[in-house]
Structure 1
């Protein structure tokens, strides 16, 4: 992928961009194999490649510049806005909405947040695109002060971008390197964005997590579904389930599936999909994954874990090691923490593994591993 921003030194986020894509993918698999080298006998399935461009379904745009001339992109070392509205990681449809959003900032008088001076209101625009081209837009603000102006001018924005389905404001009053705050104000009648994957309509609420690369996420869920169907367990837990991607993909009339996620927003989304699909043997609960497991009377036949970068940690790894679960499917975005967690579960042996390139041109990747009780 050719990138004028990278060539000009304005953005270096795609640190591997100068490497041929095949070399990037091969390097990621070698890195993962090296980290899991203490576990011999793993069958490595061919890595899942991504599109090299236009693969991101979410744009996390730092808003800089001024009300009259806003920038959408990142900040430089001095805290000044760098416009990346033509970044090749975004689809043409995402790129096409940025001029209207910049115009809306001016029309509604939304002052970009000045990080060095700690002044202004609008910190980020978060735009998510569904496979059908529908959009969810979130304004991350310091306070409620601009909300009235956003409401006033929102009809004009919806007319300019008819693909907008969900619009919300996230309140993030603190000056710290966190993307969003806890409080969300939904401004549209529709509250969820429909994300269709593998014939399943997942529902995404503003504060719910969803994988950045839709195509590769679909491949990840298919891989887990194939392994679960092959094992044919009577019961499955999906821990750190998010909006229910794994749980809903492995649902079957012959098995009980439980999804656990700490975010009530994500659980509400998962419940909506479950009800729409009429899945009576699937249930979701808002809880901490480790606390849920430690408090449970029994273990399921198979556990799926999809933790954040820190991994599942010693407590949950210890519970899995001593549990009666026969198999574990571990989906990881950080192979370093994965390797550490595997060392804490010696009786659960990695049998198959697959690298999925969720983030081309960066050192990051996803890996999914099937573990079986020795």
Structure 2
């Protein structure tokens, strides 16, 4: 992948860009095998890779510069804006959309937030692109002061993005009033639409503002297909399933099959609403989604299922849930991890569940990060 921003030193986020892709994947494979093989020597499937460029479905752009000349990208250590609207990690449609959004900053007089003076309103512009080209656009603001101006010019924004090839399904404002390195706040004001439909395999996942979704749609599709195939081989041994940290229901909805009872658990109420919406559309009445902390919910249950799927944040599932899984009678665990270090700690805490199959998925090309899917059997 060629990137002028990396070549000139303006952005070094893709730290492995000088390394050939084949070597990146080989190094990641060696790293994860070093961690997991001592715990059970699982069968390793070939790594799953997607495109090396144009794969990111979400742009998290820091607003910089001025109202008349805004930048959308990152900030230098000194606080100056670095414009990355043409970052090769995004599709050409996203590039065009980001250009329209930069123009909208000027049109709606959205003053970029200045870290040094703590003045200004617009902190981030967050854009998610569905495979169809449709968008979710979120403006992260310090206060509600600019909301009326955004509403005033919203029709123009929707029209210009549609003309650029990106119809908009959701526009919202997120409020993050605090001066600290936090991407977004808890409060959301939806100005247009409701959900963005992310078509993944044959499942149209509904994504609301503040809902988590994998940043690489092609690799996420491969992840869910692998999970479905592996669990399918368990047949009658996986009639009852928990999907913990289920998000918008990616795993649960892909694992749904006649006779299999699945409960998804997710702390985000917005994500649970999205998952229920998709299940209803697909006519899947054997799925139930619960808004709760995954660990608290699991520890309160009287019986363990045949299979527990976990897809936790980078910190892993932690000692309490790992300890419960170790003590339970659950025969299988399917663990999807974006942090092999925390995964290794968790697996060490449930030693009677041994990794029997694993696959690396190159979810984050040009970086040292990756996803790994592991099937554990007691």
Instruction: Specify the TM-score bucket, using the shorter chain as the normaliser.
Output: over 0.9
1:37 Cα deviation after fit: 3.0
1:62 Cα deviation after fit: 0.4
**Alignment-derived partner of residue 248 in structure 1:** 253
Contact 2:175 2:184 in 1 (8 A): yes
**Alignment-derived partner of residue 144 in structure 2:** 144
**Alignment-derived partner of residue 183 in structure 1:** 187
Secondary structure of the residue aligned to 2:39 is coil
In 1, distance between residues paired with 2:159 and 2:200?
Answer: 28
Secondary structure of the residue aligned to 1:318 is helix
**Alignment-derived partner of residue 39 in structure 1:** 39
In 2, distance between residues paired with 1:351 and 1:179?
Answer: 38
1:228 Cα deviation after fit: 1.1
1:325 Cα deviation after fit: 0.7
Task: Output one character per residue of 1:296-351: Cα deviation in whole Å (capped at 9) or x when no partner.
Answer: 01010000000000000000000001111110000000000000000000100000
**Alignment-derived partner of residue 295 in structure 1:** 300
Query: Unpaired segments of 5 or more residues in structure 1?
Result: none
In 2, distance between residues paired with 1:281 and 1:216?
Answer: 27
**Alignment-derived partner of residue 69 in structure 1:** 69
Q: CA RMSD, aligned part only?
A: 0.6
In 1, distance between residues paired with 2:251 and 2:98?
Answer: 32
Query: Unpaired segments of 5 or more residues in structure 2?
Result: none
In 2, distance between residues paired with 1:154 and 1:79?
Answer: 29
Query: Where do 1:230-245 residues align within 5 Å?
Result: 230-232=233-235, 233-245=238-250
Give 2:223's match in structure 1, choosing from 199, 203, 220: 220
Secondary structure of the residue aligned to 1:140 is strand
* Residues 1:26 and 2:26 are matched in the alignment: yes
**Alignment-derived partner of residue 170 in structure 1:** 174
Contact 2:39 2:348 in 1 (8 A): no
**Alignment-derived partner of residue 210 in structure 2:** 207
User: After TM superposition, where is structure 1 displaced by more than 3 Å over at least 4 residues in a row?
Assistant: none
In 2, distance between residues paired with 1:266 and 1:146?
Answer: 27
Query: Where do 1:212-361 residues align within 5 Å?
Result: 212-232=215-235, 233-361=238-366
Secondary structure of the residue aligned to 1:157 is helix
Secondary structure of the residue aligned to 1:36 is helix
Report how many residues are paired: 372
Give 2:199's match in structure 1, choosing from 193, 196, 218: 196
**Alignment-derived partner of residue 8 in structure 1:** 8
Contact 2:225 2:254 in 1 (8 A): yes
Secondary structure of the residue aligned to 1:16 is coil
TM-score (norm 1): 0.99
Give 1:365's match in structure 2, choosing from 361, 366, 370: 370
In 1, distance between residues paired with 2:137 and 2:270?
Answer: 16
Contact 2:97 2:161 in 1 (8 A): yes
Secondary structure of the residue aligned to 1:187 is strand
